[in-house]
Chains A and B, each alone.
Chain A
Amino acid sequence: MSNKKAAPRLAVTDLQHKYGDRPVIEGLTFTLRAGQAIALVGPNGAGKTTVLKCIVGSAEPAAGKILLDGLPIDERVEMVRRDVATLLDDLDFFPDLTAAEHLDLLARAHGNASPEDLVDTTLHEIGLLSAADQLPGSLSSGQRRRLALATALVRPRKLMVLDEPEARLDTDGVQWLSNRLIEEKKSGTAILFASHDPALVESVADSIVTLTPLP
């Protein structure tokens, strides 16, 4: 574990969430510091994705506090959108933009000075260089997943929030992902991810938060 004395990048205090009257998360508290990774683990329906959604503003917590660098996290604030790279299951593509153009768009939207170089490097790293000109409809599900992961690399990030990033990746892909996340930690990025892959959790996570389904 690194930067133990620094202020937490993400602080979640007594988080609660309900679907109707039924609580799915109760009293969840943890802190995540820069250069640290926390893995959320637990069976299906335990609330891993819901926790991540609450953090990125896609779901409204019933109670609790979520602070990013000491301030309440709100995705409507530009700085939050700049600093938090998110990969949940809400990714869709423009049908008429190629893989490379999608990354180019994202890099430009984040103010990157030379998006062409960055996109080429990213496509090379994720093994999609040959698919750069393909439209999303012609990409395989694995390629789409790689492209989704690449979105985190063409933008600034202080915090990465990833929901099962290993899903639909082949063995080499999972290995690359593991190495990449370790690199991200070294560069100071805080990572919060949900996963069902014990090997990925073991290699990347500094702490593990285990969620269990509430009765």
Chain B
Amino acid sequence: MSSAEGPVVFDPSDYGAIPTSRALRQWMRTTRRRHADRSFGQIFEDVYLVLFTLAMVGATGGNVVHHLNTNAARCTSFTCGELSHWMPWIVVPLLLATTIRVLLSVGPVSASQATGFWLLATPVNRASLLRPTYRLVMVVAAVIGFLASMVVWALLGTQFFGVVEAAALMAALLVCTAAVTVWVQQTAQRSRWALRVADLLLVAAVIPAVLLAAQPNSRPKAGMTTTTAVMYTDVVDDYGFGTALIDQPAHTLLPVLFGVLIVFCIALVVVTSRSLDKLTRTSVIAGGELLAGLAGAASSLDISMLADVVAGRHWRLKGRAHTRRGHGSRGGALVHREFVRILRWPRRLVIGFALLVVPYAVAGAGFDALVPVAAGFAGFGAVRPLMDGLRSVCRSTGLVRALGMDLRELRVIMAVVPGLFAILWAALASPAIGSAPATFAVAAGMLAGAVRQASARPPSYSGPLVSSPMGAIPPGLFSQPMRGFDLLLVCLAPVLLGISSTWVLAIPAFVLAVMFAVRPKTD
């Protein structure tokens, strides 16, 4: 036993049975309640606000989806038939690949660094400590799987029970996937294999998208009803994978399949739950750090910062890279360095070029009017990740000082390589987009938008704040997520409105000129 005056004396007999995680959590709850600075009424108000918002968004979104579902169900065109046939083969592997990648990047079982040190490093049962997080992961996977597939199948015009069944199946499938990723998290080797599987699933999703994109030459003119389309809507029945179910009546096969999947899913969740003590502290904390960073970025509605957090983690994990000597001087040296830097993460380039399938798939599905918009957004997604250099410069006045150039000048230099990529990308998408002026508008829009988003300042809480029902917020907080997309839409507007080619060229050119002429704001 120790006395308050003397030094701490270590006596092993002072330490007895290790408490349960439940007892420890209860102690933390009680202790934290003593510091609580919000009354129950205030907490209730917040909860009410969140529930009310969810109800409003759910009702509005549900109504929109219901409306689109009704329209899609009435559609018997060749295009609708094509979409009903191909979309499930794209959506299912895409959802699985995304789930594996996202879950493995955050853990999926994660904890803060503080929890890692003060709780997970103690002899308290680790599986028990991590079980609440594990359950949360399973619930989130189920909800996302259910909602995402419900929306997709509803948009394909599937009937109500078909939508619910497909959503429930997908939710069960994602829960199984989540449970498997928890098992995968236990060793680095398993994680590497799982990422390869995710890549294969991504390829599996791209193949039907490419086949859909290759349709234009063979399809009848848009709007034409064909017997094939009628066959598809009948055969696809409620699930999209109709062709696989032709020989078997769907309503006898599906409950059996669903029952088996549910039993397997429950067994998998229980077995994995019992193996949580095999997770290392390091693997659990790494995801927690990423989630904390993402939560910080999300609270400021800053998409660029979200990308920063992900990129920062990638480079931290990579740790080392082969040093390559620079070439040239001043601006030329920076352009060369940007080129080398971009090549250092080739996956981004691969994904960027893979996104070319989007405009072709949209064109292949027959939605010609939407091709420039789809190309613009896909191109934005392809080129934006290449702008980390510009992002670093715009976020660090010290770096700008060290480079000895004006920030306006640096913005132009840093945009050279991504700009060349944007031109190449748009040129490759040109056959789907159609005309040369529209292709120019797409290239200009994706570049201007990506540069504007990458050079955005974070919202500043140190300046004047605006009063809102959510408390004081910096001006421009809510416009933050739109930053970049606004310029993209301005550039695409003349194409969408179908005005003359002169304006289709002039407006994006003007937007680019003004954007590069203006000096970005800094803190």
Interface residues of A (CB under 8 A from B): 19-20, 22, 57-60, 75-76, 78-79, 81-82, 86, 90-94, 96-97, 101-102, 104-106, 108-114, 117-118, 120-122, 124-125, 135, 151, 153-157, 180, 183-184, 187, 189
Contact = CB atoms under 8 A, between A and B. Distances in A.
Which 7 A-B pairs give the minimum distances between C-beta atoms?
A109-B122, A92-B113, A121-B2, A82-B123, A78-B123, A92-B114, A120-B4
A67 B202 CA distance: 43
Given A57-B281, A76-B280, A106-B118, A81 B4 contact: no
Contact of A117 (B1, B15, B112): B1
Contacts of A135: 35
Nearest to B187: A60
A10 to B, nearest CB: 17
Interface of B: 1-8, 10, 12, 14-19, 24, 27-28, 31-32, 35, 112-114, 116-119, 121-126, 188, 277-282, 285, 319-320
B279 to A, nearest CB: 8
A97 B113 contact: no
Contacts of B16: 111-113
Nearest to A115: B14
Contacts of A156: 10, 12, 15
A94 B114 contact: yes
A99 B113 CA distance: 17
A92 B281 contact: no
Which of B3, B113, B122, B126 has the most A CB atoms < 10 Å from its CB? B122
A106 B7 contact: no
Which of A19, A75, A121, A184 has the most B CB atoms < 10 Å from its CB? A121
Contacts of A121: 2-8
Which of A59, A108, A117 has the most B CB atoms < 10 Å from its CB? A108
A76 B278 contact: yes
Given A58-B281, A114-B1, A117-B1, A92 B117 contact: yes
30 contacts: A19-B320, A20-B320, A57-B281, A60-B188, A76-B277, A78-B123, A90-B117, A90-B285, A93-B114, A94-B118, A105-B118, A105-B119, A106-B122, A108-B24, A109-B123, A110-B123, A111-B19, A112-B14, A113-B16, A114-B14, A117-B1, A118-B14, A121-B5, A121-B7, A121-B8, A124-B5, A153-B8, A155-B122, A183-B7, A189-B10
A9 to B, nearest CB: 15
Contacts of A78: 18, 123, 125-126
A79 B32 contact: no
A150 to B, nearest CB: 9
A180 B32 CA distance: 32
Nearest to B322: A20
Contacts of A189: 10
